[in-house]
Structure 1
Amino acid sequence: MDLQLSGRVAVVTGASKGIGLAITRTLAEEGAHVVAVSRTRSDEWPDKVVHVAADLMDPEAPARVVARAVEEFGGVDILVNNAGGPPPGVTLPRMGFMTPDDDDWRAMFEFNLFSAVRMIRAAVPVMVERGGGSIVNVSSTLSKQPGATNVDYGAAKAALSHVGKAVSEEYGPQGVRVNTVTPGAVLTDWWTKEGGAAEVFAGLAGSDKESVISEVAPAMMKLATGRLIYPQEIADAVALLVSPRSGSTTGAEFVIDGGQLKEL
């Protein structure tokens, strides 16, 4: 299926690994001009990808990113706010409401909410000038399933989902679509890296890293598929959502969680 993305200009944040890497490669393979935003370059990007080194904890970074996209390609048609998760230097999961202090909450919201808000603020005027565009925000099932683990992260992602619906309502008449993709547990280095979530849960469960990834975590989250999600599965959904083939889809949320969430 032709997604009609050839020649369109896409900005992808958090583009160097995991979900962001899969999205960057997929959009580039579909013919889009991709501006990949990350603190470090990835050797796994297609050659034509333009890297903009940026730390999105810097409030000035989003405007510089959009300006670079305009300089390189004349505008922005697609924005994927994928950057998120643990702020630099932070390890999740973090257990208990009392564990994160004020600075932890500020950093979590800065990275998972405010960076996306600023990216949207920078990109929307450029999109409107070009006659429209598409934004996808990457959230988390923790935004919909509150609990004692990663409370600050879930709260930030819930706020991001709210922002997406609000912006879609305001700018839909001007041709800007905004949707949210809500992944469950995705098999990225958030889980697999040394000291990552799999090792943390292994310590709590008296298990080992490999067993957590293959058995313990899917069982704990009651995943109907019995496995964690592959990054490409998220990327495929994002590519369809930013495509003109999804031209009537806005203000929507797409949950890709392996059957984790059970509520109607």
Structure 2
Amino acid sequence: MDLQLSGRIALVTGASQGVGLATTRTLLQEGALVVAVSRRTSPGLDELAGPNLVHAPVDLAHPEGPGVAVAYTAEAFGGLDILVNNAGGPPPGAQLPRFGFLSATDEDWRAMFEFNLFSAVRAIRAAIPLMLARGGGAIVNISSVNARKPAPMNVDYNAAKAGLTNLTKALSEEYGPQGIRVNTVSPGPVRTAWWTEEGGAADIIAARTGADRDTVLDKIVPEMMNLTTGRLVEPQEIADVVALLVSPRSASTTGAEFSVDAGFLKEP
């Protein structure tokens, strides 16, 4: 199926690995022009190098970062049609999971909201005028299933993502009549560096359970989260949904939330 994305100008944040990298790759395959935003590049991103890809080395946790990334896109390709707010997770220097509400300080909360909510707010604020100038656009915010099913773990992260999910619906109401569609994709546990890298979530859980990393990823987490599929989600499975949502094929889809979560939420 042709997603009609050829020549569309896209900005993807958190693009150097995981869901962001998979989304960048997928949009490029569909013919889009993509600005990939991350603090630094990566081997995976370097493999995608070509005339339709520009890397913007921007720190989105800095208040000016999102606006700089949007301006970078306008300068590189002349406008903006698609914004994918994927950057999120542990802020630089933080480790998740955190267990219990009292484990996060005020500074932890501020850093979490800066990276997971305010960076998206600022990117959207900068992007909307460019999209309106081109007659519309599509925004996808990457939230989390924990925005709707919170737990006494990563409380600050869950609250920030709940704010992002709510923001999506408000924006869809305000800007839908002007041609800008805004949707949410809420992943469950995705097999990304957040889980798999040394010192990541799998290692933290392994230290608490006495298991090894592979057992945590392949058995303990799927059982703990009661995942219907019995496995973590793959980044490409998120990217495929994002690509469809930003496509003109989804012209009547706005203000919606799509859970790609291996059956975690057990939605009716």
State TM-score, norm by structure 1: 0.99
Q: Whole-Å Cα distance in 1 between the matches of residues 251 and 109 of structure 2? A: 36
1:29-84 CA-to-partner distances (Å, cap 9, x unmatched) read 11000000000012323122100001011111111111111111110000000000
Partner of 2:206: 202
Q: Secondary structure at the match of 1:98?
A: helix
Taking the aligned partners of 2:170 and 2:106, their CA distance within structure 1 comes to 27
2:180 is aligned to 176
More off after superposition, 13-22 vs 45-54:
45-54
**2:11 aligned counterpart, secondary structure:** strand
1:92-111 equivalences under 5 Å are 92-111=96-115
What code does the residue aligned with 1:256 have? V
Any idea what SS the aligned residue of 2:43 has? Answer: coil
Partner of 1:114: 118
**Given the alignment of the two structures, is residue 233 of structure 1 paired with residue 210 of structure 2, yes or no?**
no
- Which amino acid counterpart does residue 29 of structure 2 have in structure 1? E
The yes-or-no answer on 1:82 pairing with 2:86 is yes
- Deviation of 1:263 (Å): 4.8
Report SS of the residue matched to 2:103: coil
AA of the residue aligned to 1:250: T
Secondary structure (helix, strand or coil) at the match of 1:179 reads strand
Q: In the aligned structure 2, how far is the partner of 1:244 from the partner of 1:29?
A: 16
Share of identical aligned residues, percent?
Answer: 64
Task: Please name the residue that 1:37 is paired with.
Answer: 37
1:14 aligns with 2:14: yes
- Root-mean-square deviation (Å): 0.8
Tell me whether 80-89 or 197-206 shows the greater mean CA deviation: 197-206
Aligned to 1:2: 2
Deviation at 1:10, TM superposition (A): 0.2
Paired residue total: 264
Q: Which of 213, 218, 226 lines up with 1:222 in the alignment?
A: 226
Which segment is superposed worse, 78-87 or 139-148? Answer: 139-148
Looking at structure 1, the residues matched to 142 and 78 of structure 2 have their Cα atoms a distance apart, in angstroms, of 25
Output the TM-score relative to the length of structure 2: 0.97
Which moves more between the two structures, 10-19 or 40-49? 40-49
Alpha-carbon distance in 1 for matches of 2:84, 2:43? 20
> 2:25 — aligned with what?
25
Provide the C-alpha distance between the structure 1 equivalents of 2:150 and 2:43, rounded to a whole number of angstroms: 37
The alignment partner of 2:184 has SS state of: strand
Q: Shift of residue 241 of structure 1?
A: 0.3
- Structural mapping, 1:141-160, within 5 Å: 141-160=145-164
SS of alignment partner, residue 229 of structure 1: coil
How much has 1:206 moved relative to structure 2?
1.6
Post-superposition Cα deviations, 1:113-160, rounded to whole Å, max 9, x if no partner, equal 000000000001100110000000000111111111000000000000
How far has the Cα of 1:256 moved from its partner?
0.5
* 1-structure distance, mates of 2:120, 2:167: 9
- Among 46, 49, 52, the residue aligned to 1:47: 49
Residue identity matched to 2:49: D
Alignment pair present for 1:130 and 2:150: no
Secondary structure at the aligned position of 2:138 is classed as strand
